[in-house]
Amino acid sequence: MVPAYDLAIVGGGINGCGIARDAAGRGLAVYLCEMDDLASGTSSRSTKLIHGGLRYLEYYDFRLVREALREREVLWRIAPHVIRPMRIVLPYRRGLRPVWMLRFGLLLYDYLGGRELLPPTRVLDLTRDPAGAPLKPGIFRTAFEYSDCRVDDARLVALNARDAAEHGATIRTRTKAVAAVRRDSAWDVTVEDLRSGQRETIAARALVNAAGPWVAQTLASCLGLATRQHVRLVQGSHIVVPQLFEHDRSYMFQNPDGRIVFAIPYEDATTLIGTTDRDYAGDPGGAVATPEDILYLCNAVSDYFTRPVSPADVVWSFSGVRPLHDDHVREPKAATRDYVLELDAPQGRAPLLSVFGGKITTYRRLAEAALDRLDLRQHARWTQHASLPGGDIAVDGLAALAGALAAEFPFLSAAHASRLAAAYGTRARHILAGARAGGSRNPVRRDAHAGRSAISDGAGMGANRR
């Protein structure tokens, strides 16, 4: 019997959904199951940066940094509604990395990845620049300001799933893969609908294990397989506090322990602070920011800001587990953030590809590499220039889109038009179509009515407050 699907994917995080989108667009029949909601795992618990990873230069991770730097502008162009450029202020701190080292690292950062749109690094005099205003006077005089991007991580996942579905993929949320059996040329994958308890078995020519921090667990429990690669679970926590500064730039602060912490303007007049790095054991779904994590982050930024931050200021916290490829270094902060793809394809038998590690930033390249490895006789690569749903605007076109929406739907306030533009891009018009007054149409319900509940608007509520 011919399998119904070319590819079955376990996991609806950024990597699973990115592979699903790429594969479906190449003409493959794709099935993806996610045991919770899309992006409910690590992919909604990130620092929400599309970044080259300045810090990884210290570990000579040039391949990863180059690829990630290149991806910043690729992803910004295909999804300018959910990805936006950001300037990051890195103050020099006496006794830590010397100025020459910061300067050299940022020079590499500017030129390693073929930057075209993002502005280059510049030096700031913090005694004059507004970025110096919230910082302790007399201590921080010089800083470097460089470019990266910010992302609505959960929406990026949902957009990939939506596009995969529009290319014909079957996307099942609240559906857990519970067993997979390899027949000679196909996998029989048994999935359970966690709401109804019903099970079904689907057949696919190839199987991808993109279960993130559950990757090894999935191999063992579904497939009875051990992995040659090892996954190292490293927990990272964030806190959100009332807005700490007025401008729209972010800070990257160096800590005496060699780590760095970001302070990023976040939604609703708040500041996002993160992250920590700690080895983790236990259920990846159960990770929470501990009192120690919260205190560490408060202390780290209080070293810099004039107004100290204390645990009592924290309005929200979240924690995620990085599914890193274990390269056997001692400290969690030094473990590689690069990805490794493990292919298990005994001669003539259906292949299994497992994903270890990776970044939100590099998901698109990871998906291309995954399909190259699987070699399912698919069409050529296509995602580099193809907008994600709603992203068919100029990179700097978001304000114009919000203005156009406010003009077309006069009942929208400017703030509401901006929110819809940033969340849905040009697809906001689908949601608003036919509405004549505020409240006359509920966007989320309309999505569900349109039969799109499987790719919910609320995707990735794991650590997304919208």
Ligand X SMILES: Cc1cc2nc3c(=O)[nH]c(=O)nc-3n(C[C@H](O)[C@H](O)[C@H](O)COP(=O)(O)OP(=O)(O)OC[C@H]3O[C@@H](n4cnc5c(N)ncnc54)[C@H](O)[C@@H]3O)c2cc1C
Q: Of 12 and 132, which has the nearer Cβ to ligand X?
A: 12
Residues that bind ligand X (CB under 6 A): 10-16, 33-36, 40-43, 45-49, 51, 176-177, 210-214, 218, 236, 275, 320-323, 355, 358-361
Question: Least separation, in Å, of the C-beta of 439 and ligand X?
Answer: 33
Question: Least separation, in Å, of the C-beta of 189 and ligand X?
Answer: 10
Q: Do the Cβ atoms of 106 and 121 come closer than 8 Å? A: yes
Strands 170-172 and 175-182: unpaired
What is d(CA 258, CA 260) in angstroms, rounded to the nearest whole number?
7
Q: Do the Cβ atoms of 65 and 52 come closer than 8 Å? A: yes
Q: Of 47 and 147, which has the nearer Cβ to ligand X?
A: 47
CA neighbor of 324 nearest in space, from 345, 340, 307: 340
List beta partners, residue 231.
Answer: 325
The b/e string for 177-191 (b: 16+ C-beta within 10 A; e otherwise) is bbebebeeebbbbeb
List beta partners, residue 235.
Answer: 278, 321
Alpha helices in 224-351 (DSSP H): 291-302
Q: Of 99 and 295, which has the nearer Cβ to ligand X?
A: 295
Q: What tokens appear for 322 in the block? A: 């990085």
Question: Least separation, in Å, of the C-beta of 357 and ligand X?
Answer: 7
What are the backbone angles phi and psi of residue 10, rounded to the nearest 5°?
Answer: -100, 115
Question: Least separation, in Å, of the C-beta of 387 and ligand X?
Answer: 20
Q: Do the Cβ atoms of 152 and 48 come closer than 8 Å? A: yes
**DSSP character for 135?**
B
**DSSP character for 219?**
H
Question: Least separation, in Å, of the C-beta of 218 and ligand X?
Answer: 5
Question: Least separation, in Å, of the C-beta of 328 and ligand X?
Answer: 19
3-state secondary structure of 21: helix
Question: Least separation, in Å, of the C-beta of 175 and ligand X?
Answer: 7
Question: Least separation, in Å, of the C-beta of 435 and ligand X?
Answer: 32
Residue found under tokens 């010397």: 98
Q: Of 12 and 80, which has the nearer Cβ to ligand X?
A: 12
Helix (H) or strand (E) holding 264: strand 260-266
Distances (CA, A) of 56 to 107, 203, 285, 397: 14, 40, 27, 32
Neighbours of 206 (CB within 10 A): 27
Distances (CA, A) of 328 to 4, 230, 233: 40, 9, 12
Residue with nearest beta carbon to ligand X: 13
Question: Least separation, in Å, of the C-beta of 32 and ligand X?
Answer: 9
CA neighbor of 106 nearest in space, from 90, 93, 86: 90
Kindly give, in sequence order, each residue whose CB lies less than 8 Å from that of residue 361, ignoring residues fewer than 6 positions away. Answer: 49, 50, 51, 52, 53, 68, 71, 72, 75
Question: Least separation, in Å, of the C-beta of 235 and ligand X?
Answer: 7
